[in-house]
Structure 1
Amino acid sequence: MANNKDNVSTGKPKVGGAVFTAVTGSTLPTDATTALDAAFKSLGYCSEDGVTNSSGISTENIKAWGGDIVDTPQTEKTDTFKVKLIECTNTDVLKTVYNGSNVSGDLDTGLTIKVNSAEHEDQAFVFDMILKNNVLKRVVVPFGKVTEISDITYKDNEAIGYELTITATPDENGNTHYEYMKKGE
């Protein structure tokens, strides 16, 4: 098969929002184009680094007497997403970073954020993007948990942001995430 430069692309955020979250059990999209369920909240702008999906596999060599490797079973499979959310006054962002129950109020009446050791709950995440030639791509994470929050920097020449690592865990079908693509109109 010949090389085809039209199959090479970049991922641009979808206009109107690219990163969304909802409580688990919300209706998940099953294609790249259907409107998201109203339960999904936009997490607004993310940094120019976009979204990074890391997929790791750990294995262990089994050796026979004499040192030959006779099998290499998989011992672990990880699936994580890293994104830096930069809308630091977006209540839905703050609820994702600090846990929904730790954020109350709004900017008009006063916003309170409690920082504690409460464990993050699973959430559904959707990442929408546009590839070259108007191909729409949607990544759906049915069960994602914030497992790392990088340092938050307050600086006069840098946007305040929350860099999150989201660890995807398997759904009832054993899948950690789904990817859908379709040529846009």
Structure 2
Amino acid sequence: MANTAANVVSGKPLATGGILIAPAGTAVPTDVSTAPGAAFKAAGYIGEDGVTEGGERSTEKIKAWGGDAVKVVQTEHSLTYSFSFIETLNADVLKAIYGDANVTTTPATVSTGTVHKVLVTGDTLPHKAYIFEIKDGDARIRICVPDGQITEVGEVTYSDSEVVAYEVTVECFADANGVKATKYLDNGIFSA
């Protein structure tokens, strides 16, 4: 098979938002182009490093007498997405990081801007649905995670030389069929 430069893509976010978040149980799209439902809210700007897919697949070798490996069994599998929220004043971002019940947003008035009250607790963070929207020219990648939970939040730095960012890791959970995420990839090249 020949090398095809058109199959090489970079990972830029869609202009309408690279990461969308909705309450757990919200139906995710089943293709690359259908607009997500109204429950999905844009997480706004994400740090310049973009989104990193990670995870782990652990195995164990079963050996026979004499030391030969006769079988390899999988003992663990995980799928994660890591990124940095940089819209610190986005209510949907704050709810994902601190929990819906711990964030109260009061609309702007004539004497104050929009005010977010955030309770920092040890509560387990909520499960949410996530969509990652990626494009390169006409090529598109959509990753749908129906059940994800922020399981790690990095240190938050308040400095005059950088933006306030929330570096997070989202753990993906399997559905009844064992699927943790679904990827849709469209090369953007239509037939004649």
Common fold by TM > 0.5: yes
**Ranges in structure 2 where 5+ consecutive residues have no aligned partner:** 109-113
The equivalent of 1:61 in structure 2 is 61
**Is the CA contact (8 Å cut-off) linking 1:144 and 1:169 kept in structure 2?**
yes
The equivalent of 1:113 in structure 2 is 118
Q: 1:9 to 1:110 in 2, by over 3 A?
A: closer
Structure 2 counterpart SS, 1:60: strand
Deviations 1:90-142 (A, max 9, x none): 111100110111001236263210111110121100000102x4111100001
Say whether residues 1:127 and 2:135 are aligned partners: no
Q: d(CA) in 2 for partners of 1:68 and 1:104?
A: 60
Q: d(CA) in 2 for partners of 1:106 and 1:62?
A: 59
TM superposition score normalised by structure 1: 0.95
The equivalent of 2:98 in structure 1 is 98
Deviations 1:13-46 (A, max 9, x none): 1011110111122121011111110000110000
Q: d(CA) in 1 for partners of 2:128 and 2:156?
A: 22
**Is the CA contact (8 Å cut-off) linking 2:133 and 2:141 kept in structure 1?**
yes
RMSD: 1.4
TM superposition score normalised by structure 2: 0.92
The equivalent of 1:157 in structure 2 is 161
**Is the CA contact (8 Å cut-off) linking 1:136 and 1:184 kept in structure 2?**
no
Structure 1 counterpart SS, 2:50: strand
**Ranges in structure 1 where 5+ consecutive residues have no aligned partner:** none
Say whether residues 1:178 and 2:144 are aligned partners: no
The equivalent of 1:51 in structure 2 is 51
**Is the CA contact (8 Å cut-off) linking 1:169 and 1:176 kept in structure 2?**
yes
Q: d(CA) in 2 for partners of 1:149 and 1:40?
A: 22
Q: 1:48 to 1:184 in 2, by over 3 A?
A: farther
**Is the CA contact (8 Å cut-off) linking 1:120 and 1:146 kept in structure 2?**
yes
Q: How does 1:67-86 map to 2 (within 5 A)?
A: 67-86=67-86
